[in-house]
Structure 1
């Protein structure tokens, strides 16, 4: 749907100027004729993208949906609710995005069309749920479900981030200790070292001699590799390969599968309960997984099987990604007619399981990193002590 500026004449011959949303010129003409206006000039307005292309975070979306649901349930109109939302927003970029949505809806555009016109600002799931809510007339109920969904997602994300803080800090400490010892500590013992060094001490001095002039090239090289991987992940072939490797990686893969299972179940439950067609629910749920490999399996296999009359549980079993227990639960939901309720309960279970799995994985990483740090320091001490002993012996002589 496009946005048009027009010049028209009314039944009295007076000139009227205005703006209107329409699919094309014919649709615009019909809408103006319904108002007893006759279009004489028109031009399509290129709508500006939201200022700075603001992308709402899951926490922001949960708050927006909760506020909208509360106001709509209280009988406040959608236009008024959006006005309250944008006027209370403190973030300038988010405020600008919400203002554009409000202005569009005020001009007669549907809420779903307004958010869909700004790709990247709102997730596709949010757009789909808004469209389903408007179509069914239960936008307040849908917004409550979406708020719960984003609250759960934000909770899971925070659990992952919190669990990874300590290992990341420990890893940074390992790197700092490594470079500090070889660049600053080892050169201090150069004068004490003789020509006949133990193999370990000689190897450590060789590492030190290499790092002192080239440490910046190593850091630069690592940075370049990270940037290259970052840009490669935007290419379809590398993203597909990288996502496949993630789910097949020992320890990490099973954890990711648990997280993906919970996310798929939660999204599927919300979309299915909103009245969307099964195929649409599957496609949109697969797209929220942020894994191109699994998403492709769903689009190329599960969706096609369901289109041809296959049961969802059977189609998911064929791709062999999600746990067998999960597909069995889906089968029970299909047979009982309570698929959305069973999916929500499954999501609760797998989200709890993912939190437990993350804690176990981090619990395994922490002692390994501490052991590695201890081994590194021990090797350095083992390499330095013979030099100190030899130096003190020389002083004694």
Structure 2
């Protein structure tokens, strides 16, 4: 993607300049607005980052910055700021101790930007692939309120929650994924090597084969003769699907469909709403205006359908509607959650109640993930049983029939 040089003003009217990577000027403008900066001028830059201009191979093979790197950075920066260490000295220490060289270079760039007079949020804005709009907005609020160390602690907790949630999902899906892959490999081997061998034996019998056997032999012959076409179709379907979900409309419909999947759909919905509640509570406690909070939180839920419902809530609040009414209209919250939102809005303690909602969803997701294997196992066993039954009937029915004929002739 190209680089764009921008000029923008912050809430105090100060001019901020920098370079950002993006698809077009609109995406750069959106990124700036999400961090409370008002874009003045955005033009394509002829100068590129050193790593991409001078050494593309180094950029290709460089170590990736992980969520854990960012999480530890947030915690360490909180500790340093709380102890009264100047931010420039703290960043210098973090750069020296960084085990990830790529992230060490990012910290070096932050120091250079700060040294040239930029604010920390503006310096982080130069690295949109590492610091998300939500992260940048929180840092910006910390700078405006003078509670930067508290914001970094809350960001650490938020990133910890995100990492734990992802790890739980991966752990729960490991066993079912292994079983499904093993079944697919077994079926491929049987169709490519085992059934053709039996087909040669049956051909010598000159007898009419059962329908199941004919279907299996026909499918096996198709795989043997056209395996290249099948592979191309699978790859083409995968690439087409990836392209479809990369579009705005495709991503919206796919994310909406995922929430309707049996078993997994309710887990995805609860996990997404837990992420929304946690992010909203964090923004509210940090002093972010509710309109801006919903705008930024919509980008953290990682689901285009839920994000559209959150934007719908934001638009309703801008028109003067209550949070409860917009939440009811969104149609994704349970009655219990709506009741807690109503109480929070009435008492003015919405941020703490949203935290409670996040904890409630987290507990439910944790329970669902712990029982996920036991819920999926019957489906896997039934599926495996059906496959084995079809293969057994297809392979052994002709042998059984021929055996009966032989016994009858005797």
Same-fold call, TM > 0.5?
A: yes
Q: Is the partner of 1:76 in helix, strand or coil?
A: coil
1:87, 1:95 within 8 Å by CA — same for their partners in 2?
yes
Match of residue 361 from structure 2: 350
Q: Is the partner of 1:180 in helix, strand or coil?
A: helix
Measured in 1, the distance between the counterparts of 2:233 and 2:328 equals: 43
Measured in 1, the distance between the counterparts of 2:360 and 2:314 equals: 25
Within the candidate set 235, 251, 265, 1:239 is matched to 251
Measured in 1, the distance between the counterparts of 2:239 and 2:372 equals: 27
Q: 1:377 to 1:249 in 2, by over 3 A?
A: closer
Match of residue 330 from structure 1: 341
Q: Which has the larger radius of gyration?
A: 1
Match of residue 86 from structure 1: 95
Judge which range, 44-53 or 169-178, deviates more.
44-53
Measured in 2, the distance between the counterparts of 1:3 and 1:176 equals: 52
Aligned pair count? 361
1:56, 1:122 within 8 Å by CA — same for their partners in 2?
no
Within the candidate set 262, 270, 275, 1:258 is matched to 270
Q: Does 1:106 align with 2:118?
A: no
| CA distances 1:130-181 after superposition (whole Å, capped 9, x unpaired) | 1011111111111001100110111011000111111111110110111111
* CA RMSD of superposed structures (Å): 2.7
The CA deviation at 1:361 is 4.2
The CA deviation at 1:350 is 0.5
2:88, 2:111 within 8 Å by CA — same for their partners in 1?
yes
Measured in 2, the distance between the counterparts of 1:130 and 1:180 equals: 55
The CA deviation at 1:257 is 2.0
Q: Does 1:163 align with 2:208?
A: no
Measured in 2, the distance between the counterparts of 1:55 and 1:321 equals: 35
Alignment of 1:1-397 (within 5 A): 22-23=15-16, 46=47, 48=49, 52=59, 56-193=65-202, 194-195=205-206, 196-299=208-311, 301-389=312-400
Q: Which structure 1 segments of 5+ residues have no match?
A: 5-20, 25-43
1:263, 1:289 within 8 Å by CA — same for their partners in 2?
yes
2:65, 2:102 within 8 Å by CA — same for their partners in 1?
no
Q: 1:97 to 1:248 in 2, by over 3 A?
A: same
Measured in 1, the distance between the counterparts of 2:5 and 2:401 equals: 83
Measured in 2, the distance between the counterparts of 1:238 and 1:358 equals: 28
2:65, 2:100 within 8 Å by CA — same for their partners in 1?
no
Measured in 2, the distance between the counterparts of 1:45 and 1:110 equals: 24
Q: Is the partner of 2:252 in helix, strand or coil?
A: helix
The CA deviation at 1:337 is 2.3
Measured in 1, the distance between the counterparts of 2:46 and 2:140 equals: 24
The CA deviation at 1:279 is 0.5
The CA deviation at 1:90 is 2.1
| CA distances 1:356-388 after superposition (whole Å, capped 9, x unpaired) | 223444432222122211221222122222344
The CA deviation at 1:390 is 6.3
The CA deviation at 1:265 is 0.7
Q: Is the partner of 1:64 in helix, strand or coil?
A: helix
Measured in 1, the distance between the counterparts of 2:303 and 2:339 equals: 23
TM-score, scaled relative to structure 2 = 0.81
The CA deviation at 1:56 is 4.2
Q: Is the partner of 1:216 in helix, strand or coil?
A: helix
Measured in 1, the distance between the counterparts of 2:261 and 2:155 equals: 32
Judge which range, 68-77 or 96-105, deviates more.
96-105
1:2, 1:22 within 8 Å by CA — same for their partners in 2?
no
